[in-house]
């Protein structure tokens, strides 16, 4: 995984609450065995008309938002299914961060493991950002992970929380599996001291 640090990017607003992972990437795109091509399915129910043409009204299809790499979305973004295809599709499309008032649990975990930043802000900041993007679609935000701040065009700084361990992994471009593998001794000790409730290979 590439380390994540400070970046500046254009933002687009999708001010809808409870955007579920079925909207981010519908189930019909999940019949793959790799991560390729998922960006095509991103928001496909909204991005495309029934005949498959682009829906010109959808924010990401507007020419002025073509370069958006930060998405501002309503609360509880990523609710629903556990599909990691959702962050894969967002990243495949080019997004580097999502800003919302809060994120669904599993989506947040999945995003952090793939270098997509879930940035939580308060409601007031959220509405401020939505208005800014709607008034000026070229609005560019700077995200500084090290200092956990979003810097607005006029210099206003908004801090955001992030899990310390996830931040360490993102800044250093290391994945979390490595940490688990380092726990081998403790895992083996746990297994030796706990009896197994079930064995799936042969019924008791």
Q: Does 124 bind other proteins (CB under 8 A)?
A: no
Would the CA dihedral through 51, 52, 54, 58 be positive or negative? positive
Question: Under the criterion CB under 8 A, does residue 56 sit at the interface with other proteins?
Answer: no
H helix or E strand, kind and range, residue 127: helix 123-135
Closer residue to other proteins in complex, CB, 155/201: 201
Q: Tell me how far apart the 2 most distant CA atoms of the chain are, in Å.
A: 67
**Binding mask of the shown chain, residues 33 to 52, with x at each position contacting other proteins by CB under 8 A:** xxx---------x----x--
User: How are the residues of the chain apportioned to helix, strand and coil, as percentages rounded to the nearest 5?
Assistant: 35, 20, 45
Bridge partners, 14 (sequence order)? 73
Count of CB atoms situated within 10 Å of the CB of 193: 7
Question: Is residue 163 close enough to count as binding other proteins by CB under 8 A?
Answer: yes
Question: Rounded to 10 degrees, what is the CA torsion of 112, 113, 114, 116?
Answer: 0
**Closer Cβ to other proteins, 123 or 157, answer by number:** 123
Q: With beta carbons less than 8 A apart as the criterion, state whether 153 and 8 touch.
A: no
The answer to the question of residue 134 lying near other proteins (CB under 8 A) is no
Among 12, 42, 79, 145, indicate the residue that binds other proteins (CB under 8 A): 79
The CB-side HSE value for 184 (13 A sphere, CA atoms) comes to 3
Q: Quick one: 7 or 102, whose CB is closer to other proteins?
A: 102
| Strand, helix or coil for residue 13 | strand
Q: Does 28 bind other proteins (CB under 8 A)?
A: yes
Query: Which of 55, 148, 149, 176 is in the footprint of other proteins by CB under 8 A?
Result: 176
Q: Is 55 or 75 the residue whose CB approaches other proteins more closely? A: 75
For other proteins, which stretch binds (CB under 8 A), given 53-61, 62-70, 153-161, 164-172? 164-172
Least distance to other proteins, CB of residue 152, Å: 20
Running DSSP on this structure, what letter comes out for residue 101? S
DSSP 8-class letter at 98: E
Question: CA 145, CA 59: separation in Å to the nearest integer?
Answer: 26
- 53 part of the interface to other proteins, by CB under 8 A: no
Contacts to other proteins by CB under 8 A: 15-18, 20, 22-23, 26-28, 30-35, 45, 50, 74-76, 79-84, 102, 104-106, 109-110, 113-114, 127, 163-165, 168, 175-177, 179-181, 183-184, 186-187, 190-191, 194, 196-201, 203-204
């Amino acid at each position: 995984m590439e380390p994540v640090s400070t970046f500046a990017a254009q933002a687009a607003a999708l001010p809808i609450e409870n955007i579920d992972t079925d909207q981010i990437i519908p189930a019909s795109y999940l019949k793959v065995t790799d991560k390729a091509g998922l960006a095509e399915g991103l928001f496909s129910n909204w991005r495309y008309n029934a005949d498959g043409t682009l829906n010109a009204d959808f924010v990401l299809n507007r020419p002025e938002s073509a370069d958006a790499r930060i998405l501002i979305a309503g609360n509880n973004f990523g609710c629903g299914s556990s599909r990691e295809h959702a962050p894969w599709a967002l990243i495949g499309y080019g997004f580097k961060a999502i800003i919302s008032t809060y994120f669904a649990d599993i989506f947040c975990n999945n995003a952090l493991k793939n270098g997509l930043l879930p940035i939580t802000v308060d409601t007031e900041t959220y509405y401020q950002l939505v208005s800014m993007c709607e008034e000026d679609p070229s609005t560019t935000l700077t995200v500084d992970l090290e200092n956990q701040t979003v810097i607005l065009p006029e210099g206003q700084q908004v801090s955001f929380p992030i899990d310390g361990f996830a931040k360490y992994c993102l800044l250093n471009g290391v994945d979390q599996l490595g940490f688990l593998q380092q726990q081998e001794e403790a895992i083996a000790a746990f297994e030796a001291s706990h009896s197994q409730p079930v064995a799936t290979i042969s019924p008791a």
